[in-house]
């Protein structure tokens, strides 16, 4: 994979192709797409008496950037976890590139080309940026997590993995940080590392869980550029996000979940005026998606929390 520049301003060919694919689609939940990379049927996940996910049918168009939105507790993260093998669905089936994926463990899902990002946990924060990238590559091999850190075990693959990691770190402007602890990165740099780490498996479908959470507004454009780049390189992107400015800015299509189910789909420009979507947000006793000032306040809070966490770590 080579370092490439951000998608140029205006509409790229890939963006135009994605928009053309959605042009005449109905706004109905589960509407068939012209060329779906992911097709989901009847996925149910219950926690005790609570049905967290109950998705009848949904398709994700290949080569598009699709947003998955919905009020808090709608089941978005649980649904991501089912699809990527990190949690087991009670029932249902789904195919990725036509291959049945239900019951497939996470590392095999990643190896087959479908990968989700993870927020940096405390444990990962104590590893260097480069070590995090190596762990990302190990998902592909399906090997024991910490084998990646034992030089004699990874030496054989070292050249290839290191080269790919360095390429990605350069592209994400993290190359100067390669030997720093991941915990010392800023909120925005952490998000870049999460994305770079997922790309170590050279996926076809990248699933991003709240790529903008905790990111300083100054870094927003750069992050958006990187997400658009994924599509420019031919990948499909499915992302969960609360920030509606981001959803409007980068998505080609929006899927809305509420109370575990897909309740509406549509283009980003008009989806928030859909009656079903308004009802879902109001019904969840939630304000409509965050306004810019609320978002800024939330971001400041998140940055402060991250700084406090880093300080706590460095004082240990
Ligand atoms: N491990 C679990 N055990 C019990 N209940 C859970 C578990 N994980 C999720 N839930 C519940 O399932 C429902 C869906 O949660 P989920 O986190 O998937 O929603 P979400 O749409 O991602 O929400 P948010 O936008 O707040 O992240 C919620 O009611 C949540 O409390």
Q: Which atom of ligand 1 is nearest to the CA of 87?
A: 1
| Other CB atoms within 10 Å distance of the CB of residue 98 | 8
- Confirm whether 146 is domain-assigned: no
Determine the 3-state secondary structure of 306 from DSSP: helix
| Cβ neighbours, 10 Å, residue 211 | 23
Distance 207 CA to ligand 1 centre (A): 17
Tokens (6 digits) for 119: 């927020």
Going from the Cα of 3 to the center of ligand 1, the distance in angstroms, rounded, reads 37
pLDDT by residue, tens only, the chain of 316 residues: 444 444 444 578 899 999 999 998 999 999 999 999 999 999 999 999 999 999 999 999 999 999 999 999 999 999 999 999 989 889 999 999 999 999 999 888 998 999 998 777 777 788 899 999 988 887 544 445 555 555 555 555 667 888 999 999 999 999 999 999 999 998 889 999 999 999 998 999 999 999 888 888 888 888 899 999 999 999 999 999 988 888 999 999 999 999 999 999 999 999 999 999 988 888 765 455 666 666 677 777 777 777 777 777 666 6
Classify 115 in phi/psi space as left (phi over 0), alpha (psi -120 to 50) or beta: beta
Q: Which domain holds residue 54?
A: 13-119+207-315
Determine which residue's CA is closest to atom 8 belonging to ligand 1. Answer: 78
CA-closest candidate to residue 273, choices 256, 292, 260, 258:
256
Query: Is 64 part of any domain?
Result: yes
Which strands, in side-by-side order, build the sheet including 236-240?
114-116, 205-209, 236-240, 65-69, 253-258, 261-266
2 lies in some domain: no
**Ligand 1 centroid vs 300 CA: distance in angstroms?**
24
Task: Using the mean position of ligand 1's atoms as its centre, give its distance from the Cα of residue 260 in Å.
Answer: 9
List ligand 1's pocket residues with C-beta within 6 A.
47, 50, 52, 70, 72-78
Q: How far apart are CA 133 and CA 145, in angstroms?
A: 12
Q: Which of 78, 210, 212, 258 gets mutated to test ligand 1 (max ligand atoms within 8 A of its CB)? A: 78
- For 2, 70, 83, 164, 239, the CA distances from 169, given in Å and listed in that order, are 11, 32, 27, 9, 22
Question: Distance, CA 177 to ligand 1 centroid (Å)?
Answer: 34
Assess if residue 103 is contained within a domain. Answer: yes
Q: Residue 257's closest CA among 104, 100, 83?
A: 83
- Predicted pLDDT at 4: 42
Specify if 169 maps to a domain. Answer: no
Please give the distance, rounded to the nearest whole angstrom, from the Cα atom of residue 257 to the centre of ligand 1: 12
CATH number of the domain that residue 32 is part of: 3.40.50.300
Of 75, 118, 258, best ligand 1 pocket probe by most atoms within 8 Å of the beta carbon: 75
Nearest CA to ligand 1 atom 2: 47
- Separation CA 77–CA 97 (nearest Å): 22
Supply the pLDDT for residue 141: 45
- For residue 81, being part of any structural domain is answered with yes
The answer as to whether 262 is a domain residue is: yes
Could you tell me the CA-to-CA distances from 64 to 16, 40, 60, 274 in Å, in that order? 10, 17, 8, 22
Domain membership flag for residue 41: yes
Cβ 145 vs Cβ 138: under 8 Å: yes
HSE at residue 187, side-chain half, CA atoms within 13 A, is: 23
Q: Where are the alpha helices (DSSP H) in 142-252?
A: 151-171, 187-199, 220-232, 244-250
The pLDDT, as a whole number, for residue 69 is 96
Return the pLDDT at 160.
82
Contact 251, 231 (CB under 8 A): no
Number of domains making up the chain? 1
Q: Which residues are paired to 45 by β-bridges? A: 53
């Amino acid at each position: 994979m080579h370092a490439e520049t951000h998608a140029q301003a205006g509409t790229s060919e890939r963006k135009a192709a994605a928009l053309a694919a959605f042009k005449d689609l109905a706004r109905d939940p589960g509407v068939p797409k012209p060329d779906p990379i992911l097709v989901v049927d009847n996925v149910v996940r219950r926690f005790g008496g609570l049905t967290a996910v109950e998705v009848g049918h949904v398709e994700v168009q290949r080569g598009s950037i699709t947003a998955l939105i919905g009020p808090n507790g709608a089941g978005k993260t649980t649904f991501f976890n089912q699809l990527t093998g990190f949690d087991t669905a009670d029932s249902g089936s789904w195919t990725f590139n036509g291959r049945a994926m239900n019951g497939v463990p996470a590392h095999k899902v990643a190896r087959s080309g479908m990968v989700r990002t993870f927020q940096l946990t405390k444990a990962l924060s104590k590893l260097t940026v480069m070590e995090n990238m190596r762990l990302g590559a190990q998902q592909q091999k399906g090997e024991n997590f910490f084998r990646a850190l034992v030089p004699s075990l990874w030496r054989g693959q070292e050249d290839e993995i290191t080269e790919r990691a360095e390429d990605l770190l350069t592209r994400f402007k993290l190359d100067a940080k390669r030997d720093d602890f991941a915990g010392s990165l800023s909120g925005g740099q952490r998000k870049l590392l999460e994305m770079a780490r997922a790309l170590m498996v050279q996926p076809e479908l990248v699933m991003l869980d709240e790529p903008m959470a905790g990111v300083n507004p100054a870094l927003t454009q750069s992050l958006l550029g990187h997400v658009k780049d994924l599509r420019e390189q031919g990948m499909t992107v499915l992302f969960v996000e609360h920030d509606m400015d981001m959803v409007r800015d980068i998505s080609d299509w929006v899927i809305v979940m509420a109370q575990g189910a897909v309740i509406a789909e549509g283009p980003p420009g008009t989806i928030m005026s859909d009656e079903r979507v308004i009802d879902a947000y109001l019904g969840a006793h939630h304000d409509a998606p965050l306004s810019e000032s609320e978002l800024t306040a939330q971001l400041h809070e998140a940055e402060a929390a991250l700084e406090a966490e880093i300080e706590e770590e460095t004082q240990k």
